[in-house]
Amino acid sequence: MIGALRSSCFALVASSLVMASFAGAQQKPVALRGGKVLTVSHGAIENGVVLFENGKITAVGTASSVQIPKDARIIDATGMTVYPGLIDSETALGLTEISAVDVTNDLVEPSDEIMPHMHVYDAFHAETELIPVTRLNGITNAIVAPASHDTLPGQDSFIQLAGKSPTDYILVRDIAMPLNFTGDQRRTERGEGRKFPSTRMGLAAQMRQAFLDAQDYAQRWSDYEKKKADYDKSKTDAGGTSDKDKKLPPNPPKRDLKLEALLPYLQGKKPVVLAADESSDLQAAVNLAHEFNLKFILNHISHSQSVLDYVASLKVPVIVGPIYEAPKPDERFDAVYSLPAQLYRRGVKIALASYDSHNARNLPYAAGFATGFGLPYEEALKAITLNAAEIWGLSDTLGSLDVGKNANVVVANGDPLDVKTDVKFVFIDGQEIPLTSRQTRLRDEYSGK
Amino acid sequence: MLRRLVSGKPASIIVCLLAITAIALVAPAQDAAPPTPTDLLIKNAFIMTATHGNISNGSIYIKNGKIAAVGDKVTAPAGTALLDAGGKYVTPGIIDSHSHIALDDDVNEATSPVTPHMMMIDAFDYHDKAIYRGLAGGVTTSMLLHGSANMIGGQAIVIKHKYGLNRDAMLFPGAPRSIKFASGENPKRVYGSRNQLPSTRMGNFEIQREALVQAQDYMREWDIYNAKVKNGDKDAAAPKHDLKLDALADVLRGNLLVQIHCYRSDELLTEMAMAKEFGYKLRAFHHALEAYKVADQLAAANVGIATFADWWGYKEEAWDAIPWNAVLCLRKGVRVAIKSDSDDFARRLNQEAAKTMRYGGATEQEALQMITVNAAWIIGVDDRVGSIDVGKDADLVIWDGYPLSSSAVPNRVFIDGAVYFDRSLPGYGMPQFKEGL
């Protein structure tokens, strides 16, 4: 009772803090009028209107075709660009504050490689100073993933960068599970402190065993459920009065959170985000995924240029990059820069990610840079909007300016993918986000404003 | 003719090299000799000079590796090679005033907090492909600095990104000597973690002060000795030469440009006060993420900054970093450069500079200056490079796309009038380096 009281008090305090920056539900209709509307799903509309009410987009079209309600707040977007909120397909937002200050980091549990029962939402800090900084650049949604030190470091959450209360930031808990196989997960202790797994063989064997254990665990539970059903049935058949009642109900297996966490992935209900850089690692990891019938999305593949046809043949989406990853010494300067274009040309659905937290705000520039190396502009924009929404199974509500979708809308004074562009308005769920951050406050304080 | 085409090597050597290559495919390519610069007229270019605005449909006449003429009405002697830039943008070569590439991790001699006699030239790993990757991003000159483990790290080198040439051919001829100082978290963390001095900012500055006092004493000993010799004292005993104190004496004599790694505003002020106390000048603060808090004082002391466009939050002393830092300082009269401090950013400094147009409204030319002539000033080579002006080295970038954007890519990079990178070429895209690919 006391505990409940205390936690509700805490919730009140916490939500009132957030309320200061996010007033909650959209109060009245908003019409963004006169801008160039990049719908992402159905081209650009010059002199367009985007209308939203109650947090949802209600109309998108030319100025002459959209009826703006009388009570709407009209924002003149003439000369501006209007586009859907950007989606960053991998960040550590809410898991870190100051990188070098350990106590501010909740990035990964390094004690074991198999940690699928770590849930990002348990550590996610909605009031991080990083989120206002990030959304100032039009990023409204992101995957938050644990750091990649473990093969199975935990489960991602999908967030929006605003909410009435801290929990409202998290749109989808445990949306996917990273499976990292880049070699960096090996234990590096040497000499007497050497520990398993110190090779890729060890990493793979350890994961394989974990998946087998989880399959056994699932089997034990399904055996139990069957026995329990039989038992319940026999009880019901006997009318609950006969001697047969004296037979004891079956004992449930002991719960194992770690193995339990793997089940939705083994059952193909959720995707595994399979990270590899080198083509050899990629193929080893894909084989492992196939062995257990995992549904997967590829991640990084920065040095897999020699197997891009193979990647295309897998018919899975790829979160590619970071495209700023250095080429290997024997690679041409643009070996990684040009990967998004190379994959696109092979028909692969791609998304881009910042793989960052403090610098997640620079996500659109990575997409812009990819256009310098052959990725068509529309595809670059899709890679941080609609493609990402589709990959994460959220394209019903996010990723484009279409009627019925969440009103996550950005207004900027130029090309969304260019460094010079200044974001003028950000709406999340139809609610205007104040364009302030710790950084703007410091700027104003020291520039005499 | 052949000589000119193949980097000035006699044909017989080329034939010989080809023969060797044919026999043993793994034979490593030899470092090339500097190419003989070809006089060239670049025409039909959109020239961003970095000092005197833009010239549309302009021309640049390159003679003996230098810019001999620039403008909208430039003529060159008959027979001069012509390059039609097709209306593309041309900027000065990018200058990175804070780089740690090509050092094979020999960035810090972190065994003592004062190592002014560590000479970067002795660690210069000139085959590092990071030089090439920076070149492909339009960088033509970089200052390779020590890290920040030590309060006084050592003496820098300045290179031109002539990848494929031999070591000494890559050095910037006659560039002034710079020395790297540091402050703040890094020295105190490195030595504090070993339970050594310094483990606080108090310790940091005391170490620095102590070293400078020793240098003063050392100089006095030499002054006394020299005076004795001058007075004909044949028995005068020369003091022992001390490399470390020689280097610090050069700081006090003003023979070295002092480059200080420093973040917090209070430490910027302390470093300036110490320079005043000991009578040496500071050239620039590097990182300087809180410079916007004390920009007036920096401007008054004519100390530049080499900063990041928007990097922040990676450590406590980077927590007050704001992306408006560069322009707030610029508006107060501080000379501002945007630098890489990273193999990665070195490949796209143009984008980093362009961010200052968004954060604070730097003009196009101001943004460009932050990665060209201002950076050159910090290094002390602004009379030689950093703008498209007559008499300067012909270090130029021809761009695909508008350079101050996120989608621009260098099409061709010239250093001293010779092409070192050409995106249209296969392999690495380097006429001077063809190994592999």
Q: Yes or no: is domain B94-385 CATH 3.20.20.140? A: yes
Superfamily of domain A86-201+259-398 in CATH is Metal-dependent hydrolases (3.20.20.140)
pLDDT at A286 over 90: yes
**Residue A10 has what pLDDT?**
38
Binning pLDDT at 50, 70 and 90, where does residue A22 land? low
CB contact under 8 A, B323 and A422: no
**B171 alpha carbon, distance to own chain's centre:** 11
pLDDT at A5 over 50: no
Token pair 């399904």 is found at A222
Q: In angstroms, rounded to a whole number, what is the distance separating the alpha carbons of residues A14 and B86?
A: 59
For residue B241, give every residue at least 6 positions away whose Cβ sits within 8 Å of its Cβ, in sequence order, or none: none
Q: A414 to chain B: nearest residue by CA? A: B358
Interchain CB contact of A240 with B (< 8 Å): no
Point out the least confidently predicted range of A117-121, A248-252, A265-269, B180-184: A248-252
CA quadruple A29, A34, A35, A39: dihedral, nearest 10: 60
CB contact under 8 A, B437 and A330: yes
What distance in Å separates residue B258's CA from the closest CA in chain A? Answer: 27
Which of A350, A179, A210 minimizes the C-alpha distance to A273? A179
> ipTM score here?
0.92
Interchain CB contact of A369 with B (< 8 Å): yes
**Spans of all domains in chain A:** 21-85+399-449, 86-201+259-398, 202-255
Amino acid at A97: E
Going by the DSSP 8-state scheme, the letter that residue A196 receives in this structure is S
Q: Which chain A residues are Cβ-neighbours of B320 within 8 angstroms? A: 442
Q: Is A53 helix (H, G, I), strand (E, B) or coil?
A: strand
User: Contact B274/B205 with Cβ under 8 angstroms?
Assistant: yes
Q: In angstroms, rounded to a whole number, what is the distance separating the alpha carbons of residues B94 and B373?
A: 9
Which of A7, A12, A20 minimizes the C-alpha distance to A433? A20
**Residue B33 has what pLDDT?**
86
Binning pLDDT at 50, 70 and 90, where does residue A24 land? low
CB contact under 8 A, A447 and B328: yes
Q: A412 to chain B: nearest residue by CA? A: B358
B325: which 2 tokens?
A: 């830092």
Q: In angstroms, rounded to a whole number, what is the distance separating the alpha carbons of residues B348 and B358?
A: 16
Nearest to B136 among A97, A333, A364 (CB): A333
Superfamily of domain B31-93+388-437 in CATH is Urease, subunit C, domain 1 (2.30.40.10)
A61: which 2 tokens?
A: 């079209």
pLDDT at B300 over 60: yes
B133: which 2 tokens?
A: 């990757």
The kind and range of the H/E element at A26 are: none
**To the nearest whole percent, how much of chain A has pLDDT over 90?**
89
Interchain CB contact of A446 with B (< 8 Å): yes
What distance in Å separates residue A91's CA from the closest CA in chain B? Answer: 15
Q: What value does the mean pLDDT of chain B take?
A: 93
Alpha-carbon torsion (B117, B122, B125, B126), positive or negative = positive
Going by the DSSP 8-state scheme, the letter that residue B172 receives in this structure is -
Number of H helices and number of E strands within chain A? Answer: 11, 16
Cis before B77? omega within 30: no
Q: In angstroms, rounded to a whole number, what is the distance separating the alpha carbons of residues B330 and A344?
A: 42
Binning pLDDT at 50, 70 and 90, where does residue B16 land? very low
Q: In angstroms, rounded to a whole number, what is the distance separating the alpha carbons of residues A224 and A169?
A: 37
Same fold for the domain at A21-85+399-449 and the one at A86-201+259-398?
no
User: Contact B370/B325 with Cβ under 8 angstroms?
Assistant: no
CB contact under 8 A, A419 and B351: yes
A194: which 2 tokens?
A: 């050497």
pLDDT for B66-76, tens place per residue? Answer: 999 999 999 99
> What are residue B40's phi and psi, to 5 degrees?
-150, 145
User: Contact A144/A157 with Cβ under 8 angstroms?
Assistant: yes
CATH topology classification for A21-85+399-449: Urease, subunit C; domain 1 (2.30.40)
**Residue B90 has what pLDDT?**
98
B45: which 2 tokens?
A: 């270019």
**Residue B20 has what pLDDT?**
39
pTM: predicted TM-score of the whole model, two decimal places: 0.93
Query: What does the pLDDT average to over A331-351?
Result: 98
**Spans of all domains in chain B:** 31-93+388-437, 94-385
